[in-house]
A and B are shown apart, each in its own frame.
Chain A
């Protein structure tokens, strides 16, 4: 499967625990974007990364949330001390290049439930 791969598909965490969401971009894509979709809402941009660099994290909450895209391995979105309001679907997308318009390709998401 050459598409964007996200795991796990479903993640249940208790309040206060940590959640780690993984994303492997499409082959040949070096740009990764994380989006969050709350119930009955559209997708909201969180963070844009290239390998080893955070380019734009303007949509990510300042506290408890962090993201990385290491030289080797998948991109990780990390949520510390989860709260019920973090329950949402988290989508990762990738693109090949920046500087010209190309559609983002999305994974099937990770649905996080905080109990």
Chain B
């Protein structure tokens, strides 16, 4: 049962434009959401997170939006850079536990 879903396996964006990665979840108990970036042969690297009490969190070029009623979150990267090319995983946890449920990932390619 996939509780966190990333329906787009891949995304290509021109350098300098905005990248929007989407994520849906089914478990209404999730209250903490994270995005991780992963390069080949490396472990996931934490990027940005958001608590369910907020609907937006921003860190430099990265912004995460949370729509609790739709059980949807998105990651915006602007402007996109070639170094952003990686697989992005959405993850969620519930109730103070740090155990994460991951989506299947979206491979972002930023074209120079």
The answer to whether A and B assemble together is: yes
Shortest CB-to-CB span from A34 to chain B, Å, is 11
CA distance A99 to B96 in the complex (A): 5
User: B42 on the interface (CB 8 Å rule)?
Assistant: yes
Query: Which of the four size classes fits the interface of chain B?
Result: 20 to 34
Identify which of A43, A98, A105, A109 contacts B97 (C-beta below 8 A): A98
Could you say which residues of chain A place their CB within 8 Å of the CB of B93? 101
Could you say which residues of chain A place their CB within 8 Å of the CB of B74? none
CA distance A88 to B47 in the complex (A): 24
CA distance A108 to B98 in the complex (A): 19
User: 8 Å CB contacts to A: which residues of B24-76?
Assistant: 31-32, 34, 36, 41-46, 49, 51
Q: For residue B90, which residue of chain A has the nearest CB?
A: A42
Could you say which residues of chain B place their CB within 8 Å of the CB of A109? 41-43
CA distance A42 to B44 in the complex (A): 11
CA distance A35 to B100 in the complex (A): 10
**Interface of A with B (CB < 8 Å)?**
4, 6, 31, 33, 35, 40-45, 48, 56, 91, 93, 95, 98-109
